[in-house]
Structure 1
Amino acid sequence: MIPQQLLTYAPAPDLLKDRVILVTGATGSIGNALSQACATHGATVILLDKVIKSLERVYDEIEAAGGPQPAIYPMNLEGATAKDYQDLAENIGNEFGRLDGLVHNAAFVGYLTPLKHYDLELWARVITVNLHAPFLLTHGVLPLLEQSPDPSVVFSTHDCQKAYWGGFGVAKAGLKGLMEILSKEYQGDRKMRVNGVDTGPIRSQLRAEQYPGEDPTTLATPEEVIGPYLYLLGPDSAQITGQNLKLA
């Protein structure tokens, strides 16, 4: 199935039944839509983001819709240490015993500017959130993913190795490399699927911050682009790994 066809993917109602899925950036545009969709299709969703009030809103919306009771895990990826990720993995292990899906969706751009004028503190923050954090989180929860009968890791990728994208462009290039290396290490008998989704421009706060003059009604909504994520998290993509699905 080509990536664009997955925009109209119609998952079975119980596609993710009894699966435990961790979503980072769970209160943002794609994170919110995906978390709710995962719950609709039967998953217990662990919502990870930095603002408790926003996490509680997504939690309440999932419960109101009748989905399995989600879990909230507040974490600021800018300041989290390696121990924080180990503690997260330990908590998930104690509560659920395994992890079936991991979606790296949290993102922080900062602002677009030439490298010559790039603020060095901003560089560190952007690289930390978009590259270091996904590695540390993945490293921490790999033993839990290995305990799942059908584990899947999905990265939100972004083709932005272009002028002025600075640290975000560099981090996303590294993130794609991380995805490819991890997928190769878990091919064959090790049986863990590792893939990416590049949605292209969507209607989101992050996009509006970088392109304030753009008409948001010309862009896809988050709900319109989560089909590929559901596909990669569920059993329908059983033979697919190492792929970066570009939707635009």
Structure 2
Amino acid sequence: MPEQTRTGILIPQNYQPSAKALAGKTILVTGASDGIGRSAALSYAAHGATVVMLARNVEKLEAVYDQIEALGGPQPAAVPFDLSQDNEEAFISLAGVIEEQLGNLDGLLLNASILGQRRAIEQSAWNDWRDVMQLNVHSQFLTAKSLMPLLREAPRASIVFTSSGVGRAGKAYWGAYAVSKFATEGMMQVLADETENTSNIRVNCINPGATNTAMRRAAYPAEEPSSNLSPDAIMRSYLYLMDDASTGRTGCSFNAQ
């Protein structure tokens, strides 16, 4: 059985990624245009990976693309894609495009999510609740499901879900976001158990913790943003889970801080 009951663990203290830790790997990052997704895309590219970046904002995607090229990393792929759409065929087509243009996939970071309303459940609007679940849960299911055949072809593949502290212990007024992160933890555990003995795929969660992102600033408007670590400062954990150094670790829920 995978280590499904292990939550809140840290990566090994002695882990130090080599300059080419991800050389030869192709990694897809959702929500790659800003915040943690942007930092992950840049960090993966800087360590040798070919990065496939998904996001809705074309202008921001192009900016990250240019930054990766400036780093001298492998040529990335910027794919404008609306992860919130309720259309399985679009996700299947996306997987087909990636297979046709890149041929393989070694890693998947499911990072895109929205905060939604922060209010009591009895005061939550149905449309907002549905929108949060669509992006934070359903799109992750559709993305992972569609890309599993490609991931199975990799010698060693890694799927990383993005969790949250409020997805491990319920917290008042976090509504749909907290529930979506509980679902994320559960999806990770189920997929890890399904793949542990039948494939080369490891599946884990990572809780980034309090990080200076647009979502954090929206959730805590009175908080001093600089009191939290920048997304760049937590990338060591994200690198570890994509690096072959984490081979054998599956069903775990890590803390980046």
Per the TM alignment, residue 9 of structure 1 is displaced from its structure 2 partner at its CA by 4.1
Provide the C-alpha distance between the structure 1 equivalents of 2:108 and 2:183, rounded to a whole number of angstroms. 18
Match of 1:52 in 2: 58
Per the TM alignment, residue 95 of structure 1 is displaced from its structure 2 partner at its CA by 1.0
Q: Which secondary structure does the structure 2 equivalent of 1:21 belong to?
A: strand
Match of 1:84 in 2: 90
Cα-to-partner distance string for 1:65-102 (whole Å, 9 max, x where unaligned): 11111001111122251001000000011012221000
The structure showing larger relative contact order (alpha-carbon pairs under 8 Å, at least 6 residues apart) is 2
Q: Structure 2: which 5+ residue stretches go unaligned?
A: 1-7
Match of 2:250 in 1: 241
Amino acid in the other structure paired with 1:162 = K
What count of residue pairs does the alignment treat as equivalent?
Answer: 247
What TM-score do the two structures reach when normalised by structure 2? 0.92
Match of 2:142 in 1: 136
Q: Which secondary structure does the structure 1 equivalent of 2:95 belong to?
A: helix
Q: Does 1:156 align with 2:162?
A: yes
Q: Is the 8 A contact 2:23 2:47 kept in 1?
A: yes
Provide the C-alpha distance between the structure 2 equivalents of 1:110 and 1:207, rounded to a whole number of angstroms. 12
Query: 1:9/1:215 Cα in 2 relative to 1: closer, same or farther (>3 Å)?
Result: farther
Q: How does 1:1-248 map to 2 (within 5 A)?
A: 3-4=9-10, 9-160=15-166, 161-248=170-257
Per the TM alignment, residue 27 of structure 1 is displaced from its structure 2 partner at its CA by 1.2
Per the TM alignment, residue 3 of structure 1 is displaced from its structure 2 partner at its CA by 4.4
Per the TM alignment, residue 7 of structure 1 is displaced from its structure 2 partner at its CA by 7.8
User: Percentage identity across aligned positions?
Assistant: 35
Provide the C-alpha distance between the structure 1 equivalents of 2:113 and 2:203, rounded to a whole number of angstroms. 19
Per the TM alignment, residue 56 of structure 1 is displaced from its structure 2 partner at its CA by 0.1
Q: Is the 8 A contact 1:26 1:32 kept in 2?
A: yes
Q: Structure 1: which 5+ residue stretches go unaligned?
A: none
Per the TM alignment, residue 191 of structure 1 is displaced from its structure 2 partner at its CA by 2.0
Q: Is the 8 A contact 2:192 2:203 kept in 1?
A: yes
Provide the C-alpha distance between the structure 2 equivalents of 1:247 and 1:43, rounded to a whole number of angstroms. 21
Amino acid in the other structure paired with 1:116 = E
Per the TM alignment, residue 4 of structure 1 is displaced from its structure 2 partner at its CA by 4.3
Per the TM alignment, residue 110 of structure 1 is displaced from its structure 2 partner at its CA by 1.7
Amino acid in the other structure paired with 2:217 = A
Provide the C-alpha distance between the structure 1 equivalents of 2:86 and 2:67, rounded to a whole number of angstroms. 27
Provide the C-alpha distance between the structure 1 equivalents of 2:13 and 2:122, rounded to a whole number of angstroms. 39
Q: Is the 8 A contact 2:88 2:142 kept in 1?
A: yes
Query: 1:117/1:177 Cα in 2 relative to 1: closer, same or farther (>3 Å)?
Result: same
Q: What value does the CA root-mean-square deviation take over the aligned residues?
A: 1.5
Q: Which secondary structure does the structure 2 equivalent of 1:141 belong to?
A: helix
